[in-house]
């Protein structure tokens, strides 16, 4: 049984850095997406950080990674460091989202400037 979102993701998608936890149930991406959708705002960014600590590695599908960052930014919209992390992830996975990554970096810079 999974106790965290990260464990569930590790069991469903795999992890090149750690072994999957023991599990006695079938896996369904739809169930995982529901868990991700309603996960705590702290648990969401922790999942890609643990499964892909170097951003370019890991087995976490890009669609799941992008959704995770989108969901957490909706819940925590004023965190420049998190915006930059999401932008880095978007930028690494193809040019089709570079405009979104640039927008996130721009918003993060504006938030930093306003905080000074």
Q: What is the 3-state secondary structure (H, E, C) of 39-106?
A: CCCCHHHHHHHHHCCCCCCCCCCHHHHHHHHHHHHHHCCCCHHHHHHHHHHHHHCCHHHHHHHHHHHH
Number of structural domains (the chain) is 1
Domain range for residue 24?
Answer: 5-115
Distance of CA 77 to the CA centre of its chain: 15
Taking only the tens place, the pLDDT of each residue in 5-27 is 999 999 899 888 887 777 777 77
Segment 63-116, tens digit of pLDDT = 999 999 999 999 999 999 999 999 999 988 878 889 999 999 999 999 999 998
Per-residue confidence (pLDDT) for residue 93, from 0 to 100: 80
- Our CA dihedral for 10, 13, 16, 20, rounded to 10 degrees, sits at 40
Provide the token pair at 13. 């998608």
């Amino acid at each position: 049984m999974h106790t965290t979102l990260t464990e569930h993701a590790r069991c469903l998608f795999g992890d090149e850095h750690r072994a999957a936890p023991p599990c006695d149930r079938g896996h369904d991406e739809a169930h995982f997406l529901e868990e991700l959708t309603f996960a705590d705002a702290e648990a969401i960014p922790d999942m890609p950080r643990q499964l892909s600590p170097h951003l370019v590695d890991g087995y976490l599908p890009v669609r799941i990674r992008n959704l995770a960052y989108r969901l957490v930014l909706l819940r925590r919209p004023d965190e420049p460091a998190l915006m930059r992390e999401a932008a880095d992830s978007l930028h690494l996975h193809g040019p089709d989202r570079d405009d979104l990554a640039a927008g996130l970096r721009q918003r993060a810079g504006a938030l930093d400037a306003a905080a000074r």
